[in-house]
Amino acid sequence: MGAGARPVVLAPDALGGQITAALRGTAPAGPAGPVQLFTVTDRSGLPLVCAADGRVRPPAWTGIVLLDDAPGVHAREEAHKRRWRAWLYWSNLLQFLDTGGGDAVQLTTSRLDGFPVETLAVTGGSGVLQSVRLTLAPAETAPQAPPAVVEVSAPPLRDTAWDKVIEYLDPDERGLLALAETLAARGVPVPRDGYELDANTGWQAELAWPDARVGVVRTPNPPEGEDFDPEAADRDRDFAAAGWEVRTAADWTADALADRLGHHQSDDTTTDNGGNDKP
């Protein structure tokens, strides 16, 4: 895993707590055993935690990649962009580990507290993808009772189609990239990018959810020496007249957008580059 990796051999019983400790930046330690736990930071500054389970041959690998999404982190824009791109890279690479008896987990720091580390196969769980719901058998003393169902909180599944959408966003549009990253991490439905309101006006939303009539538009760009952008005003007026709510990325919050989209799963199709199909 490179010169920066720090392997620690651990007993299975100690793994859950030590994986959590490693994700929080604490060096793992505990009774020795057959599982090797690695912590590493890549060149972008992105932390990864990996485990190689030596109880099976070949070893089953688990990989967890963690992106800092704390308030204010986007102020360090270039550094955050590098970590975000690395986060996507490692997530795409690690996603195949679950086919070999391990797990692949894509996390943000805001989701770390709620991550059920006990569902990982290496800690004795049945694997993250198989552990969204656990069914417990009824007690022997009460055979007539139905099985009890326990809901296990798992991180929202991030639709990989977001990657294509984000790839084509303008990184210079204030707040747009950060907003898209946060929405993707929360499992918000994938939008149509470069969406045109109609063929006559050509007004465009950078991100759009037509079923909910919600969109993200570009920041007004007034002519030199002026404070007012008439084209942006006309655009916003026409969207509103069509029943849409559009704002710039800086004027939306991820919470507000997620709430507006909570019950609107778009049925629209997208092209390979994430754009909207047109006849």
Domains of the chain, earliest start first: 6-123 (no CATH), 161-261 (3.40.960)
pLDDT band at 165 (very low <50, low <70, confident <90, very high): very high
Instruction: Give yes or no for residue 209 having a pLDDT over 90.
Output: yes
Nearest to 105 by CA among 77, 131, 130, 128: 128
Instruction: Give yes or no for residue 276 having a pLDDT over 70.
Output: no
Q: What is the pLDDT of residue 231?
A: 92
Is the pTM here over 0.75, yes or no? no
**Which whole number is the average pLDDT over 30-42?**
91
Range name among 158-167, 242-251, 262-271 with the lowest pLDDT average: 262-271
223 φ/ψ sector (left φ>0, alpha ψ -120 to 50, else beta): beta
Mean per-residue pLDDT over the chain, rounded: 81
- pLDDT per position as a tens digit, 125-147: 877 765 443 433 444 444 555 55
Q: What is the pLDDT of residue 4?
A: 53
pLDDT band at 272 (very low <50, low <70, confident <90, very high): very low
Q: What is the pLDDT of residue 233?
A: 93
**Which whole number is the average pLDDT over 84-106?**
84
Comparing 262 with 269, the larger pLDDT belongs to: 262
Q: Is the dihedral of CA 194, 199, 203, 208 positive or negative?
A: negative
Q: What is the pLDDT of residue 148?
A: 54
Instruction: Give yes or no for residue 150 having a pLDDT over 60.
Output: no
CA gap 18, 61 in Å, rounded: 16
Other Cβ atoms less than 10 A from the Cβ of 27: the count is: 10
pLDDT band at 13 (very low <50, low <70, confident <90, very high): confident
Q: What is the pLDDT of residue 271?
A: 35
Could you tell me where the DSSP H helices lie in 193-253?
230-241
Distances (CA, A) of 120 to 126, 162, 257: 7, 25, 31
